[in-house]
């Protein structure tokens, strides 16, 4: 990530803000799932609580039945999609969707950046744009007008930013896509390791799993 941000700084931060986020992609809040749809298993739904800055926790999701999938096709996400918290204390925090074999959906107030069928190819530029302090703080500040911080997709899309030529953006994305592929691959591995840890640790603590004979 530091390499990508350094390249972004080198190429773009000296340029004037000549456009807005909406010139690059659209953003839409997730689906308003009915409370009666929630189940204990099924298809994972990403809520605001799953978004930590630069990290998406897929181990703490809610679920809906698989028969609801056809109602929410626009709110499926895949590896390389970018999500942002649009309300509450976590407003403005954003994270990439890691590689996953599961179907993933997004709940309302979680904004999805629409980056096309292969989102990781367009991810580097918009991600590095959001990492710029002035852009991030503008997102947060625009959501502070009420007791409950809140921002809409159109508000985010209207935030000023640098929009270089298509050729410059394409070159930047092409150079950095392998880095972002590695990041979201590592995120998937980290979550798998966390799941294994959470399964094994209680058994170790209770004595159900005995490792005393293992020779290290």
Q: Would you kindly state where each structural domain of the chain is located, as residue ranges?
A: 2-205
The pLDDT of residue 196 is above 80: no
Over residues 78-136, the pLDDT tens digits come to: 999 999 999 988 899 999 998 887 889 999 999 999 999 999 999 999 999 999 999 99
The pLDDT of residue 215 is above 70: no
Global confidence as pTM = 0.85
For residue 12, give the 3-state DSSP assignment: helix
Over residues 32-87, the pLDDT tens digits come to: 999 899 999 999 999 998 998 888 888 888 999 988 888 888 899 999 999 999 99
Beta strand 104-106 with 43-46 is: parallel
CATH 3.90.220.20 fits 2-205, yes or no: yes
- Predicted pLDDT at 122: 97
Q: If you write DSSP's letter for every residue of 177-212 in order, what string do you get?
A: HHHHHHHHHHHHHHHHHHHHHHHHHHHHHHTSS--T
DSSP state, 131? T
- Predicted pLDDT at 198: 67
Over residues 162-174, the pLDDT tens digits come to: 999 999 999 999 9
DSSP state, 159? S
How distant, in Å, are the alpha carbons of 86, 114, 125, 163 from that of 25? Answer: 17, 6, 11, 11
128 and 175 Cβ atoms separated by less than 8 Å: no
The backbone torsions φ and ψ at residue 44, rounded to the nearest 5 degrees and listed phi first, read -70, 140
For residue 53, give the 3-state DSSP assignment: coil
The average confidence (pLDDT) of the chain is 89
- Predicted pLDDT at 130: 97
Q: CA–CA separation, 27 vs 154, rounded Å?
A: 7
């Amino acid at each position: 990530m530091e390499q990508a941000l350094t390249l972004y700084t080198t190429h773009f931060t000296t340029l004037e803000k000549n456009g807005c986020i909406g010139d690059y992609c659209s953003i839409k809040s997730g689906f308003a799932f009915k409370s009666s749809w929630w189940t204990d298993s099924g298809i994972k739904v990403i809520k605001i609580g799953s978004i930590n800055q630069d990290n998406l926790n897929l181990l703490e999701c809610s679920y809906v039945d698989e028969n609801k999938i056809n109602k929410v096709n626009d709110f499926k996400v895949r590896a390389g999609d970018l999500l942002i918290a649009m309300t509450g204390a976590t407003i403005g925090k954003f994270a990439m969707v890691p590689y996953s074999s599961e179907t993933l959906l997004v709940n309302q107030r979680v904004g999805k950046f629409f980056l096309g069928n292969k989102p990781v190819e367009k991810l580097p530029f918009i991600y590095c744009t959001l990492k710029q302090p002035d852009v991030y703080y503008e997102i947060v500040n625009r959501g502070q007008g009420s007791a409950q911080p809140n921002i809409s997709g159109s508000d985010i899309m209207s935030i000023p930013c640098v929009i270089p030529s298509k050729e410059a953006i394409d070159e930047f994305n092409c150079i950095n896509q392998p880095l972002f592929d590695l990041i979201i691959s590592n995120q998937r591995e980290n979550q798998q390791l966390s799941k294994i840890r959470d399964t094994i640790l209680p058994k170790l603590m209770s004595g159900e799993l005995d490792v005393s004979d293992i020779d290290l």
